Chains A and B, each alone.
Chain A
Amino acid sequence: MQDKRQNQVNEQTQQGKKEYQEGYFESSLAAGTLAQAGAKDMAREYLASTPPLAGRVYGNIVYWGTVVSAILAIIGSVFSFVTKADYLHPSYIISSIWQENSVEQIWEGSVGHLPHGHWYLNHLASGSGLTELGLAFGVFIVIPAMIGSAFVMFKNKDTLFASLAIMATFITTISMVGLLPLPIG
């Protein structure tokens, strides 16, 4: 009877360890399960190793934002290829790049002028506009992620690192709105 009970505990412990190692557990319930199964040390380690909320908030926003941006870019690319009159037609654009044309030459040959600013917002119905929106959304997603993470840190009274996050957000936002244009051309 005692051997049977011991085997059952061993099995539960192995299962708990396996699930833990595979990363299925997300909450303290995992630690409880491990502790009940006899793996108390591992349960303590698990709780101590749970990543901070601010990091998970940042990671989740950036991760899912990037997935959305990739989906937008895929859909946009398909539209560019399967529609006849895209804003920036792929055959002309790729051939121009292949011919070693400059950015100015490519845009002037395609739409007659350099774009300047967030040009894609005026061409969201075209494949190129949608693809560029996907790219820009992926670049932008860092800003809400840092704000979200900083908010959690402020709530946890971790003001120093929250302030650093806000400072980095501020610099990135300045770059996004074009107050720090690259001195090119």
Chain B
Amino acid sequence: MLSVFKRAPELMVLILLAVLGYAAMGIFSQVTGTEVLSATSIWSIVVSSFLLSTAIAIVAVIAGIGGGVLFTPVVMAFTSIDTLIVRATGLVVAMFSGLISSGPFMKKGLADIKVVFYCSVPIVIGAISGSFGAIFLSSHMGAMGDAVVRLALGLILIFIALMFILGGSKTEYPKAKKIDNFTHKLGLKGSYWEESLNDKVEYNLTRALPGAFLFLLVGFTGGFFGLGGGWAVVPVLNLVMATPLKVSAACSGVLLALGNSCAIWPYIMYGALIPVFVAPWMIGQVVGGILGAHILARIRAGVVRNILIVILILTSIKLIARGLETMFGINIPIF
């Protein structure tokens, strides 16, 4: 852990600033209690949000998913906070861990800039379309339409998790059996130094065209639910386009930041991004994102895969439960 601070002194500065800041907010607070919450409760909510966000960011970066996949369903499931605020905050959570981890990923060569820019256009277009589509569907089919899509997504995620489990170690460093002409012309290939193997890993991507189409869908579904889209970016890069798992996870973080940066502006301008509520979640994502990125480079890709499988299964259970709850008007008491 100390080596992380040595290599990233800005992380130490940020943690110190955050600790001092939250202490100052507690000691010199001019915040008065309300009928609903005491002054101490208000401060506790802010500090707890920061700590929770840091933990979510570490898991999110290592697994190559957006923290929004963890944040949005949990907050929507266990609180009744306005969904627009949750969606806006969820996008910040999904975005900032990817944003801060972009630096270490690019510096270490884990994230491939060509892959990122190739996938960025469909994911950005998909994310915007998804946001508009969600509102359109909501106004025409209401909760039932939402339930059907969530149920379908949950089933798809279980399928992807099963592919990861059955695929075994082949998915860590996949080899493309045949590279199609389109991908070959794009020149989507690269290499990175795998620290845990102490060796260089070379890779050639394949199926770039179906990959782009899938990224359009991933962007659409991510924007549709306000979850980001990292949970599906890794499987598409890894299983469809034959990108090594670590590179997939790193590219996923960078792509999430790119896609969500486009989707988040309308929320800012509408006022759904409430600064005092969002800030601790954002700061936690930054601190946890740096920690996660440094840990990611040093752990074996298999560990990432196992974390990813668990998160995919948990997310799918949540999605299916929520879909069934809305469709049949029942209550399924799960996490």
Q: Which residues of A approach B to under 8 Å, CB–CB?
A: 21-23, 45-46, 48-52, 54-56, 58-60, 62-64, 66-67, 69-71, 73-78, 80-84, 88-95, 97-103, 106-107, 114-120, 128-129, 131-132, 134-136, 138-143, 145-146, 149, 158, 160-161, 164-165, 167-168, 171-172, 175-176, 178, 180-185
Q: How far is the CB of A147 from chain B (nearest CB, A)?
A: 12
Chain B residues positioned under 8 Å from A106 (CB to CB): 82, 274
Nearest CB in chain A to that of B23: its residue: A78
- B326 interface contact, C-beta 8 A: no
Binary contact readout B33-45 vs A (1 if CB under 8 angstroms, 0 otherwise): 1111101001101
Which positions 261-300 of chain B face chain A at CB distance < 8 Å?
261-280, 282-283, 286-287
What is the total of A-B residue contacts with beta carbons within 8 Å?
283
Choose from B30, B33, B191, B269 the contact partner of A48 (Cβ within 8 Å). Answer: B191
The answer to whether B268 touches A132, judged by C-beta atoms less than 8 angstroms apart, is yes
Q: How far is the CA of A80 from the CA of B262 in the complex (A)?
A: 28
B105 contacts chain A at the CB level, 8 A cutoff = yes
Supposing A66-B286, A119-B271 touch, asked if A182 and B266 sit within 8 A by C-beta, the answer is yes
Q: Which of A75, A135, A140 contacts B282 (CB 8 A)?
A: A135
**CB within 8 A of B99: which of A56, A66, A101, A182?**
A66
Cβ B279 vs Cβ A161 within 8 A: no
**Looking at the complex, which one of B92, B109, B136, B282 makes contact with A49 (CB distance below 8 Å)?**
B109
Query: B32 near A: Cβ within 8 Å?
Result: yes
Chain B contact surface mostly? helix
Taking a contact as CB atoms under 8 Å apart, the answer to whether B275 and A131 are in contact is: yes
Partner of A92, one of B14, B34, B43: B34
Min CB–CB distance B124 → chain A (angstroms): 5
25 contacts across the A-B interface (CB closer than 8 A):
A22-B7, A45-B199, A46-B193, A51-B108, A55-B116, A59-B104, A59-B106, A62-B103, A63-B100, A70-B286, A71-B14, A74-B279, A88-B274, A94-B37, A115-B269, A116-B269, A140-B261, A141-B99, A172-B124, A172-B258, A172-B262, A175-B265, A178-B265, A182-B135, A182-B270
